[in-house]
Amino acid sequence: MLNRRSFLKTSLTAGAAILPSGSVRRGLNASHPEYSVPVDAHGSAVEIVTLPQRLASLDPATLPWQQRIRRVGQTNMTEYDGAAMNVEQWADYWHATKADIVFVSVTGILAFYPSKVRFHRHGKFLKGRDLFGECVSAAKKRGMRVVARMSPDLNWPDALAAHPEWAMRHRDGSVQHNNEDPRLFQTCMFSSYMDDYVPAIMREVSSLYDVDCFYTNGWPPLGSLPDCHCAICSKLPPSDTPAYWRVFTNRVLELWRKYDVIAKEKKPDCFFFANSGGNVRGGPNLNDLGKVSVWFQADNQGRGYGDPAMWGCSLQGRVCNAVLDGKFAANVTAAYSTGNPVWRNVSKNPAETRMWLSETLAAGMVPYLHFVGAENGFSEDRRWQQVGADYFQWTSQHDAHLTTRHSIANIGVVIGQSTQLLYPGPASNRSRAYMHETTQGIYLALLQGRFAFDFVHEDRLDPEHISRYRALLLPNVAMLSDRQCQQLRDYVRSGGSLMASFETSLYDENLKPRADFGLAELMGASKAADVVGTNGNAYSARIESVGTPQPHVLLDGFDKTAWLAGAQNRIPLKPIDKPLLTVVPGFVHYPPELAYPTQPHSTEPAVVLRESGSSRTVWFPGDIERTYWLTGHGDLLRLLHNAIRWVSHDERIVHVEGPGFLEMFCWETGPGYAVHLLNYTNAAAQHGWLQEIDPLGPQTISLRVPSGVAVRSVELLKAKQRPSFSVHEQLLQFTVPALADYEVAAITVM
């Protein structure tokens, strides 16, 4: 095994020797330093692999109209807006922001037009006014498209009295009501409410107005499954089971397709879409949803108590990219105050709003700004308006560079949606938050290592979707079908590499436990006993190769210690030959007199490594990603980074070097490439909201463009600068001199 530091030294020397200054093509007004060998956050040299060949060029005019939408606006109408809303003022604002499309409320809870559909109650301030129609006309007059927004999730007592079968029921048969306004009952998505009432409203709207598409808010549920005990649902499998999830997904798709047909009755390019989001949990099976959806509405409006990390929006974007094959996604940014408590009609911190919009763009989605209520001069609180207008107007100058084609990444992270939704965590830690913590742990570690990664849905493990990745990561993807396990075996046999942890593949797609991991043979890791949790002091990992001259890459950076932090939970594995790390079982934490290992040495492996040809696999028996999220322990971060480096052969496809904590995305675009940098170096990175920005120093970007592709220019879209750049053997390098909250380095090629 090559020693990293000596490799770095050799590369630097070799780099200098083979690089006469004349061989470096320089940008105009070049002041960029000579070619430098890229190194990672730990100082180890990385190899920059060549980007894939560029996609065939595309004429945007040939795309469906929604693919050309770049800005979405919504003033979410309240009942009082029937009396108070100034439609001209509303339309002028969104038009001035250069919004391409606006959401206008039809609803289903309260009609914003003189609806004749039975039980479509008119808002009490409407008084015969056609607010919906006025808004549609005002938007169309200004060249903006219109989404007809419905809400099929709630209705009133008169509807319930006539149609008791429309209601969701508790186990005892009582009606499920809205928690905040108990006059409203929750409608059941399996009932005729969805088959009859919603289509009646859609057809009425189509007959009266020129709308471009239909949308349902409040349905389907995000990130969780309904739990209804009405006459229909009582005959379905129990909620929160894999069988129910399939029935639920099928019903969502059935209604989606039905509504889409209705939407197209008047105009063939009209369509239906429903609320989505829920990050890695989703609601319906996201792979199936990706097939029917032409507009993925990511209802992921801001940080809250349950999901307090700053990257909540970009994480959602990676989920969209995993299933949409480049189709349209918009992420809703609340300009109002999300979280708990919430202020629906008060602006949030401008820096936080801007960061959420920037994450939206960076992750390849379309920014969408949302505020609730238009009363009294387009809301009592107007602070959000300038924030939104400035941001949207900036994006409008750069639509070509901000429109993404496909992501540049060499690592795939299998998200395991079924595990996220249905697996309850190990017996030692039953919690709905369990997988959330796992996802946050791997996400944070990947950001800190500045790896270029995509999310991969477990139903997309076919070569078409995964062969592009040097390595796949499986952070406790507990549920995998036999077929998915076989797909992963095929991937490794064809040269791919894997890193997996804890209960990965221990359950099938029905959450039925296996006697051993489905990937046991592939990974060389075999279960010896059930999960061991922590009571007191967690287990440690003993370095078995202390003192050997050339330790494994996995141990890089671990000096002067024989023990490393383990994890909170582990599955004991059967002994293997020459383990690199072994488990020192947990022991008493208090009293300290007893805080020593009763068994200081075991033959139980704390990691299992395999290498065959170019394939490398790493198996961690502990829930290492989640334990990193819970503790922030640097040993776990370094182990994860070393393992990811090893399985990816230290290859990078886009590399950003410099100080601070940031998130990076790289895209192929029409003009060339775009590297997006989001500065998360902030006291509010993991909790609260951004108040102010702590700028970062220079960031040097390296990527290797395909042969035959020449770089024409590099432009920093936020800083409005054109940095000098160098190209050596197709390796493009340039430096972003300073990073405030967000920067987009737009690379134009020829």
Residues found near Zn ion in the complex (CB under 5 A): 188, 190, 228, 230, 233
Q: Which is nearer to Zn ion, 239 or 396 (CB)?
A: 239
Tokens of 25: 């093509």
Residue 238 Cβ, how far from Zn ion at the closest point, in Å?
13
Residue 376 Cβ, how far from Zn ion at the closest point, in Å?
40
Residue 511 Cβ, how far from Zn ion at the closest point, in Å?
23
Long-range contacts of 120-129 (CB under 8 A, 24+ apart): 120/197, 120/201, 121/156, 121/158, 123/79, 123/82, 124/79, 124/82, 125/79, 125/80, 125/81, 125/82, 125/83, 125/84, 126/82, 127/82, 127/83, 129/82
| DSSP one-letter code for 571 | -
Q: Which is nearer to Zn ion, 190 or 259 (CB)?
A: 190
Residues 6+ apart with CB under 8 A from 94: 73, 75, 102, 139, 142, 144
Amino acid at 142: R
Q: Which is nearer to Zn ion, 190 or 391 (CB)?
A: 190
- Strand ranges for 479-595 from DSSP E: 497-501, 540-543, 563-565, 581-584
Q: Which is nearer to Zn ion, 226 or 416 (CB)?
A: 226
Residue 163 Cβ, how far from Zn ion at the closest point, in Å?
13
Q: Are strands 742-749 and 711-716 parallel, antiparallel or unpaired?
A: antiparallel
| DSSP one-letter code for 653 | S
Distance set, CA 671 to CA 20, 49, 399, 419, 715 (Å): 31, 21, 11, 39, 12
Tokens of 169: 């029921």
**Cα 633 from Cα 666, distance rounded (Å):** 29
Q: Which is nearer to Zn ion, 228 or 389 (CB)?
A: 228
DSSP string, 109-129: SSBSS---STT-PBPTTTTT-
Question: Which residue is it, tokens 């009606």?
Answer: 175
Amino acid at 297: Q
Distance set, CA 168 to CA 139, 319, 389, 480 (Å): 37, 30, 41, 32
**Cα 162 from Cα 312, distance rounded (Å):** 42
Q: Which is nearer to Zn ion, 192 or 550 (CB)?
A: 192
Q: Check if the beta carbon of residue 488 is closer than 8 Å to that of residue 615.
A: no
Q: Which is nearer to Zn ion, 114 or 164 (CB)?
A: 164
Long-range contacts of 50-57 (CB under 8 A, 24+ apart): 50/704, 50/705, 50/706, 50/707, 50/730, 51/408, 51/653, 51/668, 51/673, 51/703, 51/704, 51/705, 51/706, 52/468, 52/706, 53/706, 54/668, 54/706, 54/709, 54/749, 55/405, 55/406, 55/668, 57/670
Q: Which is nearer to Zn ion, 6 or 192 (CB)?
A: 192
Residue 191 Cβ, how far from Zn ion at the closest point, in Å?
6
Q: Which is nearer to Zn ion, 188 or 298 (CB)?
A: 188
Residue 368 Cβ, how far from Zn ion at the closest point, in Å?
31
Q: Check if the beta carbon of residue 555 is closer than 8 Å to that of residue 642.
A: yes
Residue 732 Cβ, how far from Zn ion at the closest point, in Å?
56
**Helix, strand or coil, per DSSP, at residue 595:** coil
Number of H helices, E strands in the chain: 21, 33
Q: Which is nearer to Zn ion, 188 or 408 (CB)?
A: 188
Residue 236 Cβ, how far from Zn ion at the closest point, in Å?
8
Amino acid at 675: V
Residue 230 Cβ, how far from Zn ion at the closest point, in Å?
3
**Helix, strand or coil, per DSSP, at residue 672:** strand
Q: Check if the beta carbon of residue 576 is closer than 8 Å to that of residue 566.
A: no
Q: Which is nearer to Zn ion, 239 or 429 (CB)?
A: 239
Residue 187 Cβ, how far from Zn ion at the closest point, in Å?
9
Q: Which is nearer to Zn ion, 175 or 719 (CB)?
A: 175
**Cα 340 from Cα 346, distance rounded (Å):** 14
Q: Which is nearer to Zn ion, 114 or 221 (CB)?
A: 221
Q: Which is nearer to Zn ion, 228 or 532 (CB)?
A: 228
Q: Check if the beta carbon of residue 395 is closer than 8 Å to that of residue 746.
A: no
Q: Give 72's strand partners.
A: 101, 368
